[in-house]
Chain A
Amino acid sequence: DAGVIQSPRHEVTEMGQEVTLRCKPISGHDYLFWYRQTMMRGLELLIYFNNNVPIDDSGMPEDRFSAKMPNASFSTLKIQPSEPRDSAVYFCASSPRSTGELFFGEGSRLTVL
């Protein structure tokens, strides 16, 4: 059974460019979470969805960040325009409703030059 799949694994881009990170959650999971990991802040929750509906996006840093979940098997996190301070590892995770356990993808390492 495939776990949470994220792409790309690594992205290097220049300041001002648009970045799109993708996530395929585990089939049957009701929840999908986007986290960002940095040295200073650890694992920050950016946004989470329940049954494809965004529930809480209070962690999204600013309007440059947006996330969508058009169906149960796909989500995107977009940064436009990107800035060097957005450099981090972005994790997607999914969870069934019945337990509190999160299953993480391997992360997308973003470097903005």
Chain B
Amino acid sequence: DQQVKQNSPSLSVQEGRISILNCDYTNSMFDYFLWYKKYPAEGPTFLISISSIKDKNEDGRFTVFLNKSAKHLSLHIVPSQPGDSAVYFCAARGLRGRDDKIIFGKGTRLHILP
């Protein structure tokens, strides 16, 4: 049973437009969410995170939105650039209590088209 779901395996977006990647989770104990970016033959690298006490976090071209009632988060990239083509993983962690493990979704492959 997947606790973190990324239902779109791939997404293609025109350069300069907005890329929106979505993620759903099932466990209400998660209180910290992260997005990772992965290029081929490299390890995932941290992109942006959000605590459950917030509903938005922005860092340059990247913004993460959290809707706790819907158990949904999204990553917005604007404007999209060719170097953004990669696999994006959504992840969730429970920092309170004993559940410290970080669970990842299956990833969404983003293609930025010229």
Contacts and interface: CB of A to CB of B under 8 A. Distances in A.
A45 B95 contact: no
Contacts, number: 58
Interface string A88-113: 00010101000111111111000000
A42 B101 contact: no
Contact of B42 (A55, A100, A101, A106): A106
Contacts of B41: 106
B102 A42 contact: no
Chain B interface mostly helix, strand, loop or mixed? strand
B62 to A, nearest CB: 15
Interface residues of A, number: 25
Chain A interface mostly helix, strand, loop or mixed? strand
Given A42-B107, A43-B89, A43-B107, A48 B42 contact: no
B32 interface: yes
Interface stretch (B19-27, B44-52, B53-61): B44-52
6 contacts: A4-B43, A100-B32, A102-B44, A102-B102, A103-B46, A106-B42
